[in-house]
Amino acid sequence: MGDHTEAISIDYDPKLISYEELLGYFWNAHRCVRNNSSRQYMNAVFYQNDDQQKAAIASLTDQAKHLAIAPSEIKTVILPVAQFTYAENYHQKYYLTQHSDIRDFLSGAYPDAKSLADSTVATRLNAYLGSGMNTNWNTFLKELPSYGLPENLEKRLEKAAQKKC
């Protein structure tokens, strides 16, 4: 497997959401007191500059307080971003792989695997298709026409979403 850690890279607009807010979402959905057995699956938050490092450390301390534990009990490490490498194409957009007609269309619409991985449309569709959480399907139905899908795919997704509303 090599010496790597599976991670996601998030491009965000700090005018819309701050790094600190992203950290809040992370801690809210993360089990930080469990140690993973390998570097591949280690718990980590990555930062790109001094301000992000300070924010990440402060968020770890806040999480420890929230859990009423010592910061040293948190197994999540705070590390600088060194290099980010995209996973192979077959690892990208897992839930889309379960809908081969949509995946095939999107794969043909983007010139390469990186473009597909970075696509907002593919990311949104993957999130909705894989969502087991409280998804706002009405928002999805409003967004769907802007995705540029062929009519048959759009109609199928629309029908499936309406059942969930």
* pLDDT confidence tier of residue 132, bands split at 50, 70 and 90: low
Distance CA 110, CA 116 (A): 6
Give tens-digit pLDDT for 73-102: 999 999 999 888 887 777 788 888 888 899
Q: Is the pLDDT of residue 28 over 70?
A: yes
Q: Is the pLDDT of residue 113 over 90?
A: no
Compute the mean pLDDT over every residue in the chain, rounded to the nearest whole number. Answer: 87
Regarding predicted confidence, which is higher, 148 or 6? Answer: 148
Distance CA 58, CA 45 (A): 12
User: Which of 92, 103, 164 lies closest to 133, judged by CA?
Assistant: 164
Give tens-digit pLDDT for 43-52: 899 999 999 9
pTM above the 0.75 mark? no
Contact predicate 76/35, CB 8 Å:
no
Distance CA 80, CA 154 (A): 41
pLDDT for the residue numbered 82: 85
Distance CA 165, CA 160 (A): 9
Q: Is the pLDDT of residue 119 over 80?
A: yes
Q: Is the pLDDT of residue 122 over 60?
A: yes
